[in-house]
Amino acid sequence: MRPRFGFPLQLALFAIGWCVGLEILVRLLLTSPSNIIPDTQLGSFYAPNSSALIETPDAGPREVSFNELGLNDGPIQPKGDRARILVLGDSYVEALQLPRRQNFLGVMAHDEPNFQFVNGGRVGLDPTSEFVMLDRLAPILKPEGVILVINFGDQSDLLNDRLSVTRCGSPASICDYRRPPVADAGPRAWWFRRLYGRSALLTYLARRFHVSALERIEAIRQWARHGQGISIARDAYTRADFQPLLSLIFQRIKSRYPLLVVAVPDTEFGTGGHTNTQPSATFLSQVQAAARASGVGYLNAGPALADAYARDGQPPRGFSYATVGYGHLNAAGHAALAHALEPDLGMFRTPATQ
């Protein structure tokens, strides 16, 4: 007579074997377990001195290492006589799609050896969370200046943040803001994130099928049960607040460090070297007005990207896997941005770099 639990046990062992086999294949061919650690202010950050297998657009899966601060950068070196510049932004700055030597920080480091550039970019950040990143990194790095890269998508990102703002004097003026704590999503959401850190298979499935929706469900459950998790501000941030909010952030950074703001428009690349930045006209005017009102440096990256396209005939955005001219800056775009930035680095020079 067969054991009572023979078939269920065999089925369980078979399923476990399949999962183990898939885990090995995913680790070898697709990705690594998530190296993301939950964070109450930024949502998450990369584990220090970790690495991850990233699906790069033109080179297939590539291992990316993160330094002692969890940044997509090499180990932090002593400054010596060099001026250290902290560069903040989202995925446009982080640039996981390219080897570090090919992103605009790597190009500038090669061209301007008297400066040390630190990549403080992180996917999903916006100007308010980038200010949080500055608070985290500045006491450690003690930079001589800050470059803040803002792109067209930051407008929508700020709306999705559920910010509450404090107005002073007039509806068009903002003197403070508040970001809702990420921890309000609840303990189950954190449990999911920790689970991804153990399994490459679960990490891949989460990225492919957007399992992060489970975290949003948990946030709604917490709100329904405790009145927490989703805060509707009495004076909520709106799209019209984009320019005054930027002015406030620029002023706060300027009070501590010299600041150069870089605006990357949503440029359309047509045939024959023709470009169109009209869809980003309002965005550019808002960022420029905020920079002028705050008395900080400003650079519109649009002309540099247009000149690169007219000169080389290769759109500086997009990779071979995507529609050409859309998406993140490619190697040509990063080079164009670097060369446009280099003349403005004089605002950060110290006596040793003159």
**Residue 217 maps to a domain:** no
Q: Is residue 127 part of a domain?
A: yes
Q: Which domain holds residue 165?
A: 73-180+234-353
Q: Would residue 223 count as lying in a domain?
A: no
Q: What is the average per-residue pLDDT within 78-94?
A: 94
Q: pTM, whole model, 2 decimals?
A: 0.79
How would residue 5 be classed by pLDDT, with cut points 50, 70 and 90?
Answer: low
pLDDT at 185 over 60: no
Output the pLDDT for position 54.
Answer: 75
Within a domain: residue 99? yes
Give the mean pLDDT of 199-213.
61
Confidence (pLDDT) at 4: 60
User: What is the CATH number for 339?
Assistant: 3.40.50.1110
Quick check: 246 pLDDT over 90? yes
Q: Are 223 and 256 in contact (CB under 8 A)?
A: no
Whether residue 195 is contained in a domain is answered as: no
pLDDT-derived band at 223 (thresholds 50, 70, 90) equals very low
Say if 167 falls within a structural domain. yes
What is the pLDDT averaged over residues 202-230? 51
Please state the domain count of the chain. Answer: 1
Give the separation between CA 267 and CA 276, rounded to whole angstroms. Answer: 6
Residue 33, domain member (yes or no) = no
Nearest to 305 by CA among 271, 267, 278, 346: 267
| Token pair recorded at residue 283 | 């965005």
Least confident of 73-87, 138-152, 193-207, 232-246: 193-207
**Residue 2: is its pLDDT beyond 70?**
no
User: Which DSSP state fits 257?
Assistant: S
In tens, the pLDDT along 268-299 reads: 888 877 888 888 899 999 999 999 999 999 99
What is the residue-wise DSSP string for 184-195? GG-HHHHHHHHH
Q: How confident is the model at residue 234 (pLDDT cuts 50, 70, 90)?
A: very low
For residue 76, pLDDT beyond 70:
yes
CA 248 from centroid of its chain's CA atoms: 21
Query: Count of alpha carbons within 13 Å of 341, Cβ hemisphere only?
Result: 30
CA distances 48 to 36, 52, 75, Å, are 10, 12, 11
Say what the pLDDT of residue 30 is: 66
Q: What residues have CB less than 8 Å from 159, skipping those under 6 apart?
A: 237, 238, 239
Is 113 part of a structural domain of the chain?
yes
